Chain A
Amino acid sequence: MSIEMSESENIVFLRDKHIKYIDSLDKKQEDYEYWLSEHLRLNGVYWGLTALCLLNAKDTFKKEDVIEFVISCWDERSGGFAPFPGHDGHMLSTLSAIQILATYDALDSMNARDIREKCVAFIKGNQMKDGSFQGDRFGEVDTRFVYNAISSLSILGELTPEIVDPAVEYILRCYNFDGGFGLCPGAESHAAQAFTCLGTLAIVNKLGKLSDSQMEELGWWLCERQLPEGGLNGRPSKLPDVCYSWWVLSSLSIIDKLSWIDYNKLRAFILQSQDEKKGGISDRPENEVDVYHTVFGIAGLSLMGFENLDPIDPAYCMPVSVTSKFKKYPYDK
């Protein structure tokens, strides 16, 4: 089903409803779904906060409460942050915690109880011999955790060549013959992995490790994700999903080939996935909304310069106003 240009231009971005929707999320604690998603709670706070920042509504959440909750998720035993108090520390939630604190300019709250030192030790301690990272001591390895580690250490200004160089080598091994990146060497190319791999390389200033022809192939593989109806999929012959508006667009933006996407068609697909009544964005039109698809839909619109949203940094997935203050690697002596 194709959308005529004039028709798609008439769809309105529901800014205020999205703000209300995100604000309502933490007030649904009687829901069964809410406690089943405990293992993603801190990630959820990061998604909500980032969306609010792009919507220029950062004050919707109470800063002091959120910071207190983040610190309460710190797992002293592992040194990392858990997604919720009482869970084990994990690389995914550790990055979310650091992103939230950085967004509030509150990284100094990690100075108490040696949280910062122990957290850095937790992240570095999860690096494997081949340069990859595991998610926790349990040993699940994939490029998501490499990204978590590198982004976290970068925000804290704690990157070193000993950590960076083997991580970069590992990332390059995940590049595939078809021009995409997989979850680990040899795994099928997947759009989310393009982001974790290119994001890592961008943060450590090592995009030059990719040859010109690899960059071309990557650009092809990424824009090949756009379907005639406008939305993007994560792998060939899969359905479109709003979250790839972020994973694909951020990757294209990092390699400076964003213009290879048809903006108007993608915008129409994202806006059609809004819930007109309660706000929020879903994976595709007519489906149930959630905070994950809401932030990635909004982030995609921001990258394309639509709807007067605050600009987002494609490598960090955080507001540019926050990331512009980060120390850039390699650090000056």
Chain B
Amino acid sequence: MSGFDMNNYVDVEPLEIETGLPDEVCPIMYTDEYKQVMSVARRLMQEGEYSERALQLTSKAIALAPAFYTVWNYRYSIVEHLAKESGDVEGYMNKEMDWLDEVTLGNPKNYQIWSYRQALLKIHPAPSVKRELPILQIMIDDDTKNYHVWSYRKWCILFFQDFTNELTYADSLIQRDVYNNSAWTHRMFVMKHTNPSKHEVREEIEYTKKKIEIVPQNVSSWEYLRGLYEVFLDCEYDEETIKFAEKFTDDILKLDITVDKEVSALPNIESSYALEFLADVFAKIPSPENTNNAKKAYTALSLKYDPIRSALWNHKMGQLA
């Protein structure tokens, strides 16, 4: 790859920014290099030049200001033209993706990288999911909750219609950090798209319970457990799961809990989310006993286990029959 050299652009008349405003309102003190590169880029964009030197200039401009999406748009047009001209579209596109990998590694929080990648894959004659997985892995390793990387991964999976690696992949992230909500919701994304059998849903429930046993106070795993029942099992909660949740609440629903209960009389419990889960289940299956239990659970949440949301718990209590 030939290096960037400003001497390749001496014939280009720089196009300075015109705001039409008095100097004191918008005089930007650019560094000389930025000013030079951008004013040449602006001219080439205006002229619509699609050439190897224009491509190199966009590399330079992107290195200086990675979020300047106008330059990304221009680069895409250049690549589209040059790939056709080269006679080897696939080879050209692969080379472009190699370049993009490098930029990606240096700019993990950038938005443009991922939509640019999607645009390239759409015009790539032989796109491959295998080509995408390593860079996704590196970027997730760097920031395991990076919203853009997860979104791009989902886009890829749908684009290639290949769900085979996904549950294992999400599991590897959950093993690293059981609180990783992105990984938990990725599992739901996979489940919803793969039409799981009752048996597979049961396995998923068991998987989730094992993770809850490791860390009981985790909103993500409890919410996922609830989601599995709601999405795949018509909210038909079984006795086994109710007993499972009760394990983390120190049997407090056996106590007499009313709003004037002394907070100090309530024991510490392992998981307020388990109590929330139980309250929700009991509220959904109406019977005098369940309603009474739900009321006790909401009261306990409001008094001691989640007092910052007492307005919510009082509202929930008001909705009980």
Contact = CB atoms under 8 A, between A and B. Distances in A.
B182 interface: yes
Contacts of A88: 69-70, 73
B115 A138 contact: yes
Interface centre among B18, B150, B181, B186 (most CB of A within 10 A): B181
Contact of B69 (A34, A138, A177): A138
B65 A36 contact: yes
B118 interface: yes
Given A85-B17, A140-B115, A236 B308 contact: no
B68 A87 contact: yes
B207 interface: no
B179 A237 contact: yes
Interface in A133-183: 136-140, 176-178, 183
Interface residues of A, number: 52
B199 interface: no
B50 interface: no
A86 interface: yes
A69 B24 CA distance: 13
A269 to B, nearest CB: 12
B222 to A, nearest CB: 10
A76 interface: no
A138 B19 contact: no
A138 B308 contact: no
B181 A235 contact: yes
B145 A29 contact: no
Contacts of B27: 29
A276 B316 CA distance: 40
Nearest to B66: A36
A314 interface: no
Contact of A187 (B118, B154, B192): B154
Contacts of B315: 260
Q: Is the interface of A mostly helix, strand, loop or mixed?
A: loop
B26 interface: yes
Contacts of B208: none
Contact of B20 (A68, A220, A236): A68
A259 interface: yes
A140 B73 CA distance: 11
B118 A139 contact: yes
B185 A176 contact: yes
Interface stretch (A49-57, A105-113, A221-229, A294-302): A221-229
Interface in B1-51: 15, 17-21, 25-31, 34, 42
B111 interface: yes
Given A36-B65, A69-B26, A138-B72, A259 B311 contact: yes
A265 interface: yes
B313 to A, nearest CB: 9
Nearest to A221: B223
B220 A220 contact: no
Q: Is the interface of B mostly helix, strand, loop or mixed?
A: helix
Contacts of A177: 188, 227, 230-231
Interface residues of B, number: 54
A332 interface: no
Contact of A85 (B19, B119, B150, B180): B19
Nearest to A234: B147
Contacts of B151: 183-184, 187-188
B69 A90 contact: yes
Contacts of B231: 177
B158 to A, nearest CB: 8
Given A138-B76, A187-B154, A65 B65 contact: no
B174 interface: no
A68 B42 contact: no
A262 interface: yes
A127 interface: no
Given A69-B21, A69-B25, A188 B65 contact: no
Interface string A69-86: 100100000000010111
Contacts of A237: 179-181, 218-220
Contacts of B219: 224, 236-237
A330 interface: no
Given A36-B65, A138-B76, A87 B70 contact: yes
B192 A140 contact: no
A35 interface: yes
B195 to A, nearest CB: 15
B29 A72 contact: no
Interface string A26-52: 100110101110111000000000000
A188 B150 contact: yes
A85 B227 CA distance: 48
Contacts of B186: 188
Interface of B: 15, 17-21, 25-31, 34, 42, 65, 67-70, 72-73, 76, 111, 115, 118-119, 145, 147, 150-151, 154, 179-182, 185-186, 188-189, 192-193, 218-220, 223, 227, 230-231, 308-309, 311-312, 315
9 contacts: A32-B31, A34-B28, A65-B25, A82-B70, A84-B17, A86-B70, A178-B223, A235-B181, A236-B181
Given A84-B17, A88-B70, A188-B151, 12 more contacts: A30-B29, A36-B67, A68-B20, A72-B19, A86-B17, A140-B111, A177-B188, A177-B227, A186-B193, A188-B181, A188-B186, A236-B220
